[in-house]
Amino acid sequence: MLCAVRRAVDEGELSVAVPARAVVTPPGPGGRGDYATNIALQLARPAGQAPLRVAEVLRPYLMGAEGVRGVEITGPGFLNISLDGSAVPDLVRRVRLDGPRYGHSDDLAGEVFAVRVPYEVRAEVLADVLARIIGAQGGRVDVSHDVSHDVGHDVGHDLGGVAGDRGATVLRPVPAPEDPAPLGLDAARWALLHPAPHDRPRITADHLVQREGNPLFRVRYAHARTRAVCRNAADLGFTAQPGPLDAADLVALLADYPRVLATAVAVAPSNRPSKLSSDPRVVPDSSAPSRLARHLVGVADATLVLLPAVLPRGEEKPSAAHRARLALAEAAGAVLAGGLSLLGIDAPDHL
């Protein structure tokens, strides 16, 4: 559900802050399908649109999600979702087969992107992660230092310069207000990458706190917990087996992960063409690392909801549902590990 909201926001169809959670429940009287949500009613006022209009905007994004067979709008703007149970096992199998490389592709094979950055730590880290994400799609980023621009107050694409056969992209995120090194490598990178490039990063000890309020902790903890349930399942003598599940949010987030990686390149404004590029408007998108970080937070939160039901309780015997939840937990762990790796952040098995 939150994937649909994020995509609508990214496409400019909704102007709202993406909520931390969306409530998805069995449909009430008059509802249809497997699940229903009032997210359109929740977003209507901040979006400045009628709930029905918000629901109409979200519907096609939900329809495109893996495992969704149909979406109907009822009442003042409730979205009723019908699932295709057969699609979930296929997705989980694919993620488990690919492991942390799930979402990687050769779509940008042969593409070389020139990026210039100022001598500033946040810009350097941003360029490094863009290179990792684009590399995961077969492309390459050549990074050089730009001394013709002040350390940025905004983020822009400068296609006037030429590097190799492609106009260079100048990355100028809002700089770090102080040296993030005292936070340590992982927390420092998260502090610089999680905010959008045009937002001022917080270099504070909050990023080190091992509590639910710290998004980095939730992401790493969720990964460590997926590894723990796999170890515990092995001790109990049962293995994962993908099957139909009622974890629509997590399934949708896993299905949307390759698209999040693909947004590392974007179409630049057409009034700033490069003369020498075969596709001059395709440039690295400086917002991709922050989108990836936020997506991982969504995956982590949905995974933490799933995990308490993975293992049998008490004298309960492992069932097909436990095996299917275990397979989904393994898939979620693979996405969290792969995403953190692209951000240059460690994904520990124990935390």
Assign residue 77 the CATH number of its domain.
Answer: 3.30.1360.70
Instruction: Specify the 3-state DSSP secondary structure of 11.
Output: coil
Look at residue 88 in the predicted model and tell me its pLDDT: 81
Q: Which domain holds residue 65?
A: 2-83
Q: Are 225 and 321 in the same domain?
A: yes
Look at residue 66 in the predicted model and tell me its pLDDT: 63
Q: Are 93 and 117 in the same domain?
A: no
Q: Are 231 and 91 in the same domain?
A: yes
Give a yes or no: residue 26 inside a domain: yes
pTM of the predicted model as reported, rounded to 2 decimal places: 0.76
Give a yes or no: residue 13 inside a domain: yes
Q: Are 151 and 238 in the same domain?
A: no
Q: Are 298 and 155 in the same domain?
A: no
Give a yes or no: residue 274 inside a domain: no
Strands 78-83 and 35-37: antiparallel
Pair 306, 284: CB distance under 8 Å: no
d(CA 265, CA 299): 22
Which among 204, 223, 251 is the end of a domain? 204
Q: Are 238 and 323 in the same domain?
A: yes
Burial of 86 from C-beta contacts in 10 A (0-12 / 13-18 / 19+): exposed
Give the tokens for residue 63. Answer: 């329809």
The H-or-E segment that residue 78 falls in is: strand 78-83
Give the tokens for residue 50. Answer: 């009628």
Q: Are 232 and 99 in the same domain?
A: yes
Q: Are 237 and 92 in the same domain?
A: yes
How many domains does the chain contain in total? 3
Look at residue 62 in the predicted model and tell me its pLDDT: 85
Q: Are 129 and 197 in the same domain?
A: yes
Give a yes or no: residue 277 inside a domain: no
Q: Are 223 and 330 in the same domain?
A: yes
One digit per residue, the tens of pLDDT, for the chain of length 351 reads 777 888 888 888 999 888 766 777 767 766 677 778 889 998 999 999 999 999 999 999 888 776 677 888 988 898 888 766 567 888 999 999 999 999 999 989 989 999 999 999 999 999 999 999 999 999 999 999 875 654 433 344 433 333 333 468 899 999 999 999 999 999 999 999 999 999 999 999 999 999 999 999 999 999 999 999 999 999 999 999 998 877 877 888 898 899 899 989 876 655 444 444 444 457 899 999 999 999 999 999 999 999 999 999 988 999 999 999 999 999 999 999 999 999 999 999 998
